Every structure is written in structure tokens, then in C-alpha cells.
Amino acid sequence: MGLETICLCRVGAQEAEAKILLESHELILRAPFRRTISVADIKAVNVAGSALTIEAGDIAICLELGEVAAAKWAKKILSPPPSLASKLGIGHAKPAFVIGDVHDAELAEALQGHSAPASRATLSVAIVDDAATLDAALAAHRALPARSHIWIVYRKGPTAAFGDGAVRARMRSLGYRDSKTSAVSNTLSATRYSLG
């Protein structure tokens, strides 16, 4: 989850109040600036009193956030975002039982070395395209101990044939409750569920 505020902002010689969002990989300045800066492109971050100054490319941005918020935003910019494996709660000691075919490069990288058969897994990661693959994934997930989490990975966006809304409706109708959501890649999202 990112940070969001409305504050006095200076970009070069232009100064105005604007809505600012800091996501894992982007700093977004809304009107009147309308800029998106990749966190990877930020060269310098400085806090002086209540001001956070950011240098990216040939531009300097100054945000009047207040002392506490300026320090918090600087720390978030300077801290690398957690890995997808970390967001999913998987690792060598916490392997996942993978259900379905993994075609997404970022998901495949996160699962690399962090998967196991159901008998040794601590949770499931299921890639679903429709209600039938979701139901099959839930049946496979039953091989894990009761109350184990299952991450349902699905296409994201309003044009997804079987996206977040359809997954959530089906899971809730079966007594599952969602507890966390994570972006997986540009095309996939995941939501973690467990039985109610």
C-alpha cells in the first residue's frame, strides 16, 4: 500500500498544491503537474525540516510534507520494495503448493525454489482463468492442512473475463474470506483467502 497526501509542491519554478502518491515503484504528481517518476530514476532524496526534496533526471521536486511525513516518505523511497515472494509469504522455509500453469515471468521468478508438493507446503498459489479452474484449485488445495491460506492469482483490470470481482464472489459464497491482495505483474493480481 502506498502513501498519499495533498501538499504544497514545487517542480522547478512551478509551485502549487497537488495530490501526491508514492507507490512501490512510482511517485505520482497529480494536477497541475501531471508527472509520474519511477522510483528507480530518483538520484537523490533529502529531508530538510518539513520539506522532502527529490532529484530525478534533470528535475528537482520539493514536497512540503511536515517533518514526520517527510522522513517517512524518504524512508519509503530509499527502501527497496519487498519481493513478490516476500509479499506472498513464501520462501525456502515456507514453500507453496502451486496449482495451475505458471506463464507469468514475475510469478515464476517468485516461485523459483519456493514450491513443494502439498504434503510439504504451507500454503497454495493457484492460477485461475475461470470458475472451473478455481473450483479445481480449491479441490487440490484441500490436500493441505485445514485453515491453510490459498493465494488466487487472476487477470487484473476491468476487461478481465474472470477477475477480482468474480473470484471474490465465488470464494465468499464458499465460505472463504480474503485477507490480503498483491500485484503480481502488469497483468496479474493475487488475493489471499482462508476458510472463514
Quickly tell me which residue has 513478490 as its cell.
84
Asked whether the beta carbons of 181 and 191 are under 8 A apart, the reply is: yes
Overall pTM > 0.95: no
Query: What is the spatial distance between Cα 62 and Cα 27, in angstroms, rounded to a whole number?
Result: 12
Query: What is the spatial distance between Cα 59 and Cα 29, in angstroms, rounded to a whole number?
Result: 13
pLDDT category, 1, cuts 50, 70, 90?
Answer: low
In percent, how much of the chain has pLDDT > 70? 99
pLDDT tens-digit map of 7-19? 999 998 899 999 9
C-alpha cell at 49: 525540516
Alpha carbon distances (Å) from 26 to 52, 121, 124 = 16, 34, 30
186 φ/ψ sector (left φ>0, alpha ψ -120 to 50, else beta): alpha
Phi, psi of 118 (to 5 degrees): -55, -35
pLDDT tens-digit map of 101-149? 999 999 999 999 999 999 999 999 999 999 999 999 999 999 999 889 9
